[in-house]
Amino acid sequence: MKFRDYYEVLGVSRDASQDDIRKAFRKLARKYHPDVAKDKDTAEEKFKEVNEAYEVLGDPEKREKYDTLGKDWNNPGAGQAGGDPYGGFYGAHSGDGGYENHYSGTGFSDFFEQMFGAGASSGGGRYSSFSGGPGGNSPIPGQDAHADILVSLDDVVNGTERSLQLKQVNRATGTSEMKTSRIRIPKGITEGQLIRCAGLGNPGYNGGPPGDLFLHVRVEKHPDFRIVGSDLYHELPLAPWEAVLGAEVSVKSLTGSVKIKIPSGVENGTELRIKGKGLPQGTSGSHGDLYAVIQLVTPSKLTDEEKDLWQQLSKASTFTPRS
């Protein structure tokens, strides 16, 4: 399984700040987002790669683990002297009867799933093993398996179906089996929700039924929206005079632009609520809200005339921000 250099994917150095990583992600995500990308054929896969990289590097805890292990990620003793950096994950796929599961269609690479995914944390995802049970010829159910699935905001809004391919390898015998299944992703699904795929876990023993596969939902990071439950947050840049005088501006939403009024004297960081323009809340028919978060932007380049006007304003104004 190939090591993935997430720093290279985002085009940042290994000592990049979290803010630099966030900026790099947003730039690339806007470039490769399927809605706006010029090359539709390659954009979707590239967008998923960028999302996966940010899923790791954008989380300080995951980033620390990634940096500690480096290219020795597949060595059980790497990064911690005398200890297992995966907290017993490697022990979960050792011994006869273990099955190695590889998925296609989840949106995540095998590398991510083994190192950071639900299977790694549960000990029963990409790798799992028979842990014992009744002796003799009694039927024994197979173990459940766990993996992650990446869904887009469009999937959340509209619901969809996904084709999932599962390659299951018996580590003891080397034999493998391919399974293909259609996975339904319901409208209004949320981060962390589980999708149960009956019978797609590890095979049973002595005629026992197979276990189930549980897909842990991860919602794609979006360059324009931050997701909190069913609410969306969008950073809205304002010029100083728009904040002082008030204005009517357009705000991005998932269904197109929305016109809102900016009250005069609005402050940086103010959250303006746009009701019902968030994500669907399950199958209830209701939606969360969209919040426009005010971000004051000062001009970095001024003409001589503009500079003169700002100087006149500074002399005429009685406003003292540090009083």
Domain boundaries, the chain: 1-79, 86-132+139-222, 226-316
1-79 and 86-132+139-222 share one fold: no
Q: What is the pLDDT of residue 44?
A: 84
Check whether domain 1-79 has CATH 1.10.287.110, yes or no? yes
Q: What is the pLDDT of residue 93?
A: 33
Q: What is the pLDDT of residue 74?
A: 60
Full-model pTM:
0.78
d(CA 84, CA 88): 6
Question: Using an 8 Å Cβ cutoff, are 175 and 119 in contact?
Answer: no
d(CA 92, CA 61): 23
Q: Report the DSSP beta bridge partners of residue 275.
A: none
Nearest to 14 by CA among 5, 25, 3, 22: 5
> Regarding the domain with residue range 226-316, which homologous superfamily does it belong to in the CATH classification?
Urease metallochaperone UreE, N-terminal domain (2.60.260.20)
Task: Give, for 68, the enclosing helix (H) or strand (E).
Answer: helix 60-69
Q: Report the DSSP beta bridge partners of residue 251.
A: 258
**Helix, strand, coil proportions of the chain in percent (round to 5)?**
30, 25, 45
For residue 33, the one-letter residue type is: H
Nearest to 51 by CA among 127, 139, 149, 119: 149
Q: Write the CB contacts of 300 (distance below 8 Å, at least 6 apart in sequence).
A: none
Nearest to 118 by CA among 214, 20, 242: 214
Q: What is the pLDDT along the chain (323 residues), one digit of tens a residue?
A: 678 899 999 999 999 999 999 999 999 998 988 777 777 778 888 999 999 999 999 999 999 999 988 776 566 554 443 333 333 333 233 233 478 888 888 989 888 988 888 765 554 444 444 444 445 688 889 889 899 999 999 999 999 999 999 888 888 888 888 888 999 999 999 999 999 999 998 888 888 999 999 999 999 999 899 999 899 999 999 999 999 999 999 999 988 899 999 999 999 999 999 999 999 998 788 999 999 999 999 999 999 999 999 999 999 999 888 87
Q: What would the CATH number be for the domain defined by 86-132+139-222?
A: 2.60.260.20
Burial category of 121 from C-beta neighbours within 10 Å (exposed 0-12, middle 13-18, buried 19 and up): middle
